[in-house]
């Protein structure tokens, strides 16, 4: 074998197995060369060589995806100082500033893209979310507060209401004349919306709904715009008419007198006060005592009450009706997914830039020795996070595309909507947790400097903390995903007996094997390979990665399904207990599914098909090599994370499993020289990162220190070090 990929890593390898791996990899990367250049810009001398490099401009455009123009426009907006957070403001000042920024958004016209053309909008659902999620780089409070106003309050009127509501309420919502709250969550029931206690009882005499909060746990809670700014709210309540509870419906309810800012009669509330972050938003609590609204204020797209109190709905099943209504609000999850990816990109841009400049524990202070990112540990801490960020970014683009197809009507069957909800429920937990972990790792990787507010990381982390539990608690969302996986599974096997179920997994894995070899038999043949390098060579194959990841999901789902099978014969309580005994497995299966979705998205992106809109054309071979390394680091990183599972379930031989960890470490080292380019491709400039340590200041300081010692040494003024005493042995 010959070296066919330029390896810009300087650290020599002394591990033969790893060396062989590298050769093994290199061979596969021997693809026709298309004008690749090495880092210095010089053309390689060997004509058949693909030089790993990153075409930052091309990749940047690729990452921007389908709604590139909207994103760029939004980034121009977030680069304006008046849109940005001022660290250290009091809660009151911060709230006022963010409210003012919302007005700027209105002036900019950027927040109306999703609204109907009849109301002056653009009917552009994907573009609306793309632009909106970029606001996180200015101030997450701004992102979420505008999300409350137009993405929740406004979107509820849009999607749950009908023409009357659009005409009557949307203009003032769009213009911010009426700031509003989205009053769904209650103190007593966080993610369990079906169980809310607030009631809206139809009064046949007056043709009004009467809203009531029956007990303290039914107070609406954590609502943005509720503590101070909200003049109205969309209130979710159990709709009761003719003494029948038709389940959760939404009502448009005025809250405050616009003239005085005082609550209207029957309405009360309080401020949630200071929070761990997002303090530019006035979250608060609301409660209702005999609050009357006209019958027409019921947002009646999915359920209506006639003047005589007769209830009707286009959706017969109360359960399906409930999920359909909630499904129209999926954009919150979609946008949190995208915003989290953006925050992770900012974090890595800061940490990689600093890690590429900062020197520490250098042997002599006047030498040009390693920067932090040359340390193996630092690579281990940041490179996998970089790979995951790329995966999450490409996965989000697919989610956003799906969202746009459903909401534009291009593909909005029931199945499409369910797929969208499942995809959002799968990706939002992973990306929000990933953002927190990345911000924290970046903070620690920047040491004390990372703790200063001026370097952004702590503030962003504090703000994004709540993303893990709002718009659906992450674990609850994963459980939803698992239920979908299980129901898909059982639907296919509704009549099958246990034996069939048990066989299913193996067959399924075989069916999916692209090269016609089932994964299990592949694993069993491992022992024959006889060399670590060969093992890794196989693992680099995307089909092998796909099989490993897919097989794990399917095996876990199949296992759980088999364990839950007796539930259908049990009482409701016993069935719930059985489910609870496997809850951890169930959620782990959903997580595995979500990880697979990210991997598939990344793999499609490496193949030039990120957005399904042709934006992937023109990827050069060098960039493809780097992206492939990143994808492999992500995919094999997942295998490494779950290595015990693969070993316990006989999917990997110990030999091959051992190679996985060695290889991911090697990949981190190989990606390291491209790290700066890879964060540059995220496209966030100094106006977005706004971190003192990511401005080159550290490099300047390092150079100054080095020059000082060099000059002093040259001038003979540097004091000599104390002589070491003679060693006595």
Q: How remote is the C-alpha of 22 from its chain's centroid?
A: 32
Q: Considering the rule CB under 8 A, would residue 468 count as an interface residue with a copy of itself?
A: yes
Under rule CB under 8 A, residue 294 binds a copy of itself: no
When binding is defined by CB under 8 A, the residue of 365, 408, 521, 524 that contacts a copy of itself is 365
Q: Are 688 and 680 in contact (CB under 8 A)?
A: no
Q: What DSSP string describes 213-238?
A: --SGGGSEEEETTTTTT-SEEEEEEE
Sign of the dihedral defined by the CA atoms of residues 360, 361, 362, 366, in that order: positive
491 touching a copy of itself, by CB under 8 A: no
Pick from 12, 32, 81, 499 the residue near a copy of itself by CB under 8 A.
12
- Which residue, 87 or 543, has its beta carbon nearer to a copy of itself? 87
CB of 322 to a copy of itself, least distance (A): 11
Q: Is 210 in the site for a copy of itself (CB under 8 A)?
A: no
Give least dist CB 525 to a copy of itself, A: 19
Instruction: Establish if 58 lies at the interface with a copy of itself (CB under 8 A).
Output: no
Q: With binding defined as CB under 8 A, does residue 314 bind a copy of itself?
A: no
Q: Segment near a copy of itself (CB under 8 A), from 98-106, 330-338, 473-481, 593-601?
A: 473-481
User: Toward a copy of itself, which CB reaches closer, 104 or 462?
Assistant: 462
Taking each helix axis as running N to C, give the angle between helix 542-564 and helix 572-581, from 0 to 180 degrees, rounded to the nearest 10: 150
> Residue 488 interacts with a copy of itself (CB under 8 A)?
no
Q: Which stretch binds a copy of itself (CB under 8 A): 261-269, 353-361, 539-547, 624-632?
A: 353-361
Instruction: Estimate to the nearest angstrom the gap between the alpha carbon of 690 and the chain centroid.
Output: 22
Which residues, at least 6 apart from 617, have a Cβ–Cβ distance to it below 8 Å? Answer: 608
Residue 487 lies near a copy of itself (rule: CB under 8 A):
no
Nearest to 540 by CA among 662, 644, 641, 645: 662
Note whether 23 binds a copy of itself by CB under 8 A. Answer: no
Q: x-or-dash pattern for a copy of itself, window 651-670, by CB under 8 A?
A: ---x--xx------x-----
CB 551 within 8 A of CB 509: yes
Confirm or reject binding of residue 452 to a copy of itself (CB under 8 A).
yes
In whole angstroms, how close is the CB of 697 to a copy of itself at the nearest point? 9
Cβ atoms of 181 and 233 within 8 Å: the answer is: yes
Q: Closest by alpha carbon to 346, among 647, 143, 538, 148?
A: 143
Residues binding a copy of itself: number (CB under 8 A): 114
321 vs 631 by CB, closer to a copy of itself: 321
For a copy of itself, which is the closer residue by CB, 27 or 204? 204
Q: Does 306 bind a copy of itself (CB under 8 A)?
A: no
450 touches a copy of itself by CB under 8 A: yes
Phi then psi dihedrals of residue 162, to 5 deg: -125, -170
**Which one of 454, 507, 530, 685 is in contact with a copy of itself (CB under 8 A)?**
454
- Beta strand 180-183 pairing with 232-241: parallel
Quick one: which segment of 136-144, 373-381, 407-415, 608-616 binds a copy of itself (CB under 8 A)? 373-381
Q: Are 421 and 337 in contact (CB under 8 A)?
A: no
User: How far is the C-alpha of 667 from the C-alpha of 426, rounded, in Å?
Assistant: 27
215-244: contacts with a copy of itself (CB under 8 A) = 215-218, 221-222, 238, 240, 243-244
Paired tokens of 239: 């709709």
Please tell me whether residue 575 binds a copy of itself under the rule CB under 8 A: no
Give the interface segment with a copy of itself, choosing from 21-29, 82-90, 249-257, 551-559 (CB under 8 A).
82-90
Rule CB under 8 A: is residue 90 a binding residue for a copy of itself?
yes
DSSP-H helix ranges across 6-87? 16-28, 56-64, 68-78
Q: Does 568 bind a copy of itself (CB under 8 A)?
A: no
Of the candidates 677, 705, 38, 92, the one whose C-alpha atom is nearest the C-alpha of residue 349 is 677
Of the candidate residues 1, 34, 580, 613, the single one contacting a copy of itself (CB under 8 A): 580
Nearer to a copy of itself, 289 or 365 (CB): 365
Q: Is residue 667 within 8 Å of 629, Cβ to Cβ?
A: yes
Q: Which is nearer to a copy of itself, 58 or 645 (CB)?
A: 645
Calculate the dihedral angle through the C-alpha atoms of 225, 229, 234, 238, rounding to the nearest 10 degrees: 70
Cβ–Cβ < 8 Å for 642, 556: no
CA 198 from chain centre, in angstroms, equals 32
Dist. CA 540–CA 582, nearest whole Å: 33
Report the 10 Å Cβ neighbour count for 108. 16
By CB under 8 A, the residues from 690 to 709 that bind a copy of itself are 700-702, 704-705, 708
Coil, helix or strand at residue 620: coil
Say whether residue 16 binds a copy of itself (CB under 8 A).
no
Report the candidate in 183, 185, 207, 197 with the shortest Cα–Cα distance to residue 247.
Answer: 197
Q: How far apart are CA 36 and CA 52, in angstroms?
A: 8
104 vs 452 by CB, closer to a copy of itself:
452
Indicate which single residue of 35, 409, 614, 719 sits in contact with a copy of itself (rule: CB under 8 A). 719
Q: Which stretch binds a copy of itself (CB under 8 A): 112-120, 168-176, 453-461, 630-638?
A: 453-461
């Amino acid at each position: 074998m010959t070296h066919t990929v330029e390896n810009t890593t300087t650290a020599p390898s002394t591990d033969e197995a790893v060396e062989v791996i590298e050769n093994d990899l290199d061979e596969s990367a021997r693809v026709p060369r298309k004008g690749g250049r090495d880092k210095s810009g010089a053309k390689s001398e060997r004509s058949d060589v693909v030089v790993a490099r990153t075409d930052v401009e091309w990749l940047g455009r690729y990452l921007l995806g389908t709604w590139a123009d909207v994103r760029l426009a939004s980034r121009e907006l977030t680069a304006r100082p008046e849109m940005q957070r001022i660290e250290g403001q009091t809660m009151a000042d911060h709230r006022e500033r963010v409210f003012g920024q919302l007005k700027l958004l209105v002036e900019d016209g950027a927040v109306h893209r999703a609204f109907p053309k009849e109301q002056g909008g653009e009917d552009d659902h994907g573009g609306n979310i793309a632009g909106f999620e970029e606001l996180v780089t200015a101030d997450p409070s701004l992102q979420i507060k505008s999300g409350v106003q137009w993405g929740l309050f406004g979107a509820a009127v849009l999607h749950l209401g009908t023409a009357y509501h659009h005409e009557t309420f949307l203009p003032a919502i769009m213009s911010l004349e009426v700031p509003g709250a989205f009053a769904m969550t209650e103190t007593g029931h966080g993610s369990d919306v079906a169980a809310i206690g607030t009631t809206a009882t139809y009064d046949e005499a007056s043709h009004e709904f009467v809203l009531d909060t029956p007990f303290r746990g039914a107070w609406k809670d954590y609502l943005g715009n509720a503590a101070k700014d909200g003049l109205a709210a969309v209130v979710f309540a159990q709709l009761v008419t003719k003494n029948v509870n038709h389940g959760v419906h939404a009502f448009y309810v005025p809250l405050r007198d616009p003239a005085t800012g005082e609550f209207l009669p029957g309405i009360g509330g309080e401020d949630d006060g200071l929070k761990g972050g997002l303090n530019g938003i006035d979250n608060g609590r609301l409660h209702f005592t005999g609050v009357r609204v006209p019958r027409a204020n019921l947002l009646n797209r999915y359920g209506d009450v006639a003047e005589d109190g007769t209830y009707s709905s286009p959706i017969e099943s109360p359960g399906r009706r409930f999920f359909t209504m909630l499904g129209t609000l999926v954009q919150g999850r979609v946008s949190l997914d995208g915003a989290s990816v953006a925050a992770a990109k900012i974090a890595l841009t800061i940490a990689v830039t600093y890690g590429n400049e900062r020197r520490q524990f250098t042997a002599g202070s006047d030498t040009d020795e390693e920067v932090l990112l040359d340390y193996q540990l630092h690579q281990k801490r940041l490179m996998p996070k970089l790979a995951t960020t790329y995966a999450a970014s490409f996965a989000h683009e697919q989610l956003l595309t799906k969202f746009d197809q459903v909401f534009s009507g291009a593909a909005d069957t029931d199945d499409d909507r369910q797929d969208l909800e499942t995809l959002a429920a799968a990706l939002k937990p992973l990306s929000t947790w990933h953002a927190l972990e990345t911000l924290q790792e970046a903070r620690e990787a920047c040491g004390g400097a990372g703790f200063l507010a001026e370097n952004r990381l702590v503030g962003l982390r504090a703000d994004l903390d709540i993303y893990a539990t709002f718009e659906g608690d992450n674990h609850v969302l994963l459980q939803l995903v698992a239920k979908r996986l299980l129901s898909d599974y059982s639907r296919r096997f509704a009549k099958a007996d246990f034996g069939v179920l048990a066989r299913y997994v193996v067959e399924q894995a075989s069916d999916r094997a692209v090269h016609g070899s089932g994964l299990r038999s592949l694993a069993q043949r491992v022992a024959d390979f006889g060399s670590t390098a060969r093992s890794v060579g196989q693992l680099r194959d995307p089909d092998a990665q796909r099989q490993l990841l897919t097989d794990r999901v399917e095996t876990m789902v199949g296992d759980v399904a088999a364990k839950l099978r007796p539930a259908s014969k049990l009482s409701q309580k016993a069935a719930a207990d059985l489910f609870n005994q496997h809850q951890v497995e169930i959620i782990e299966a959903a997580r595995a599914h979500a990880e697979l979705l990210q991997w598939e998205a990344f793999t499609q992106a490496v193949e030039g098909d990120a957005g399904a809109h042709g934006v992937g054309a023109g990827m050069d071979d060098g960039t493809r090599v780097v992206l492939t390394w990143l994808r492999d680091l992500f995919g094999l990183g997942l295998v490494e994370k779950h290595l015990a599972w693969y070993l316990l379930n006989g999917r990997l031989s110990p030999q091959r499993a051992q190679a996985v960890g060695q290889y991911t470490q090697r990949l981190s080292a190989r990606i390291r020289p491209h790290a700066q380019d890879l964060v540059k491709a995220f496209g966030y400039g100094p106006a977005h990162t706004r971190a003192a340590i990511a401005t080159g200041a550290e490099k300047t300081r390092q150079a100054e220190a080095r020059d000082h010692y060099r000059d002093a040494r040259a001038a003979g003024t540097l004091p000599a070090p104390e002589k070491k005493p003679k060693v006595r042995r």
